Amino acid sequence: MPRQTRVVRFSRIGGPEVLSFVRETLSPPASGEVQLRIEAIGLNRAEAAFRADQYIESPVLPARIGYEATGIVEAVGPGVGDFRAGDAVCVLPMFSMNRYGVYAQHANVPASALVPRPDGLDTLDAAALWMAHMTAWGALVDIAGLCAGDTVLITAASSSVGLAAIQIARAVGARPVAMTRDAGKREALLAHGAETVVISGAADCAQALRAATGDGAQLVFDPIAGPAITPLTDALAPGGLLLVYGNLGGQAEHTPFPFYAAVGKGLSMRGYLVFEILRDPERCARGRRFIEHQLRTGTLSPVIDRVFDFDDIVNAHRYLESNQQIGKVVVRVNG
């Protein structure tokens, strides 16, 4: 039977204030779908970009929103054999937000986007796990092949992905060098495993980068893009990789190709989104195995900065974009 539920929609492009609650009739799950009671949502910059029409796809208004959540299966559609009512699951971002969205009390999602909630992980941590750690694993391990003794320079290091990258670098024996523009985050980044911290924009930034990376980093992992990537190439070792996975600087169209550094040191520059991992069954399975193993050993754990209530979704988005956080912003729904 259809059910009434409360969901977040937006009918115009803009800032957090465009998000609003509506009551909708949710149909039973269709073939290949599962209906969830959402317990908690993990917020991501991708959703803020989608809301502002600065994402890889434009929203179809009135738009739904939300990639990442955890919840309990309440019903399964035809053809779903891997899940049943009562299962605790996590939602991975394996769909278009123009078709599905998890900012809701209840939602239908494709069963292919679900994984069982890892044993021992509480509701809030489960909502904060997959997007960050799978993004970081895909870059550091699958693409760059970092190994013991390598150095990775992680910009915007206090983000949930940045902290996940620090943890994963440590797990494979690499050296994580964190970069942040907020000197007040230095001690927290060191406490979370960074070997050293470089403050971007500081007068001695270039010198600090050289000191931190020594003979050069094998990888620069950057979500900022724009002109700011140019000095980062100086921190790369010969044959190093500059991997850009976001547009936090808002100037992606002005991202230069660092010709002289690239030619002089044989550098590579590559764009990356986690979807290339999630949409490849073999790579996704390898990432899941790595993350679940490291969770069991205690090497990896989600870092949550702040938890908001569902009714406070607008302020949660404001906080997400404030750059104050160290880790993940999570919203409690039915948990």
Q: Domain ranges for the chain, please list them.
A: 3-129+302-332, 131-275
Say which residues have a Cβ less than 8 Å from residue 162's Cβ, sequence separation at least 6: 154, 155, 156, 178, 223
**Do 89 and 73 contact (CB within 8 A), yes or no?**
yes
Question: Rounded to whole angstroms, how far apart are CA atoms 157 and 178?
Answer: 5
Q: Just give the CATH number of 131-275.
A: 3.40.50.720
Tens of pLDDT, residue by residue over 167-217, are 999 999 999 999 999 999 999 999 999 999 999 877 778 788 888 888 899
* pLDDT the model gives residue 247: 87
Interatomic CA distance for residues 19 and 115, integer angstroms? 28
- CA proximity to 64, closest of 52, 79, 51, 46: 51
pTM for this predicted structure:
0.96
Dig out the tokens for 58 from the structure: 């434009």
The predicted structure's pLDDT at residue 207 = 86
Low-confidence ranges of the chain (pLDDT < 50): none
Q: Is 307 left (phi over 0), alpha (psi -120 to 50) or beta?
A: beta
Residue 237: which of 152, 154, 135 has the closest Cα? 152
CATH of domain 3-129+302-332: 3.90.180.10
Query: What pLDDT is recorded for position 60?
Result: 97
